[in-house]
Structure 1
């Protein structure tokens, strides 16, 4: 699972943001199920930042958010991210030079995704 949190940080606040992001990344990295993480900034727009983490599953990510160190160091930072979807499930991936490997979604299909829509009960 990929978590992509985007931030709009003004240059005069960048040093403080980076320090807090490092603390958040450290707290998240200590949690079970954490696979990797990185702090990035857009090359052509210095106010655009992301904190990207990868997790074993949505469950390990959600449990990580409940840890004390994460609540202290990551939650206040994550509260500043742009209000948009941030958690994404991996549906296909490829290693360097490798074939594409497709993974089934963990989401339960909605009725319209199952090829039918339940008829309304007239009674």
Structure 2
């Protein structure tokens, strides 16, 4: 699964944000199921940043976010994210896509 998290950061806060987001990135990278991550800044609007992470599955991602380390080191930066959907399933040929709706847990 792919997570695309965007941030709007005033240029005056860029250095502090970069330190916080790198700590968040390292913390998430240490969690089980994390595959990789990339931090980027928009070339046309330097106040727009993006953190992209890839995970083995949605469960790994959700468990990582609820871990003690993530709450302590990642959430302070992640709370600055733009309020928009960020989790995506990877679309590959021949693979059924997720259906929106209620799911059975049992």
TM-score > 0.5 by shorter chain? yes
Q: Does 1:52 align with 2:52?
A: yes
- Distance, in Å, in 2 between the alignment partners of 1:5 and 1:64 is 15
Q: Which has the higher contact order (CA 8 A, sep 6+)?
A: 2
Aligned CA-pair RMSD: 1.6
When normalised by structure 2's length, the TM-score is 0.89
Residue by residue over 1:56-108, the C-alpha shift from the partner in whole angstroms, topping out at 9 and shown as x without a partner, is 1000000001111111111121111111110000112xxxxxxxx34222x34
- Distance, in Å, in 2 between the alignment partners of 1:51 and 1:58 is 17
Q: Does 1:17 align with 2:17?
A: yes
Deviation for aligned residue 1:109: 5.5
Equivalent pair of 1:24/1:73 in contact (CA under 8 Å): yes
Larger mean CA deviation between 66-75 and 51-60 belongs to: 66-75
When normalised by structure 1's length, the TM-score is 0.77
Q: Does 1:104 align with 2:96?
A: yes
C-alpha change, 1:56 and 1:13, in structure 2 (3 Å) is same
Q: Corresponding residue for 1:67? A: 67
Equivalent pair of 1:90/1:103 in contact (CA under 8 Å): no
Q: Does 1:5 align with 2:13?
A: no
> Mind listing any 5+ residue stretches in structure 1 that lack a counterpart?
93-100, 111-123
- Distance, in Å, in 2 between the alignment partners of 1:63 and 1:77 is 18
Tell which structure's C-alpha radius of gyration is larger: 1
How many residues of Structure 1 are paired with residues of Structure 2 in the alignment?
102
C-alpha change, 1:109 and 1:82, in structure 2 (3 Å) is closer
